[in-house]
Homo-oligomer: A and B are copies of this chain.
Amino acid sequence: MSQQKGSQRKEDGIRSLARLPRATVLRLSWYLRYLQGLDKSQTERVSSQELANALGVSAAQVRKDLAAIGSLGQPGIGYRPDDLAKVIRSVLGLDRTWPVVLVGVGNLARALLRYAGFRQQGFHFVAIFDNDPSKVGQTIENLRVLPMDQLAETIQKTHAQLAIISVPADAAQKVADQLVASGICGILNFAPAVLHVPHHVSLVSVDLTVQLEQLTYLVLHKNQDASQKPPG
């Protein structure tokens, strides 16, 4: 592995990180979750071994992941939970507030709007949309459901960069196109459809049926692979 590669360079503690492996980014979320669960006043240090045990990965993996975002640990001692959490938050972009718009007001949307976990991490719903006239005008969690023709305008006004799609599969690509045209940078898609977005837009899809199908495969072929699964 070549040193001095791309924008990667060491700089007294925190490294300006050149695209982390996707699996590493996923684990950073887990590490953060674990650190947030620690009793702040009680825990002075955590070791890679402790994190590894808690999350079901190897200690070497943990050290590799954390070394990728900075020299945050002290040999012989471990990591300071607060420092670690702060750096991970910064890397994941959780040291700020993210306005989010949501398109498609069904059951899943209602659940998402009420989901406390989002608010805790700085995600903040600023507008919700539906193309069903009978839903437009309803109020859910203090938000009026807006018609789709106000999408672009609202996104520009609220500076929302993120959107959540929870419409039926056959409507999802059209909605994605509208979101992209309105300047959205990242889409979290819950519609069971493969979406295509331009290069400059980020997309994460969560397909609930696919997840359940992964589970049936594992159950059916159990004992051939019983390792701890990454969430998602």
Contacts and interface: CB of A to CB of B under 8 A. Distances in A.
A77 to B, nearest CB: 24
B199 A215 contact: no
A121 interface: yes
Given A199-B226, A229-B204, A162 B215 contact: yes
A10 interface: no
A156 B118 CA distance: 36
Number of copies: 2
Contact of A225 (B19, B34, B211): B19
B217 A25 contact: yes
Interface string A188-224: 1100111010011111111111111111111111111
A204 B194 contact: no
A209 B121 contact: yes
Nearest to A219: B186
Given A93-B220, A114-B107, A117-B209, A188 B202 contact: no
A26 interface: yes
Contacts of A202: 215, 218-219, 222, 226, 229
A118 to B, nearest CB: 6
A214 B223 contact: no
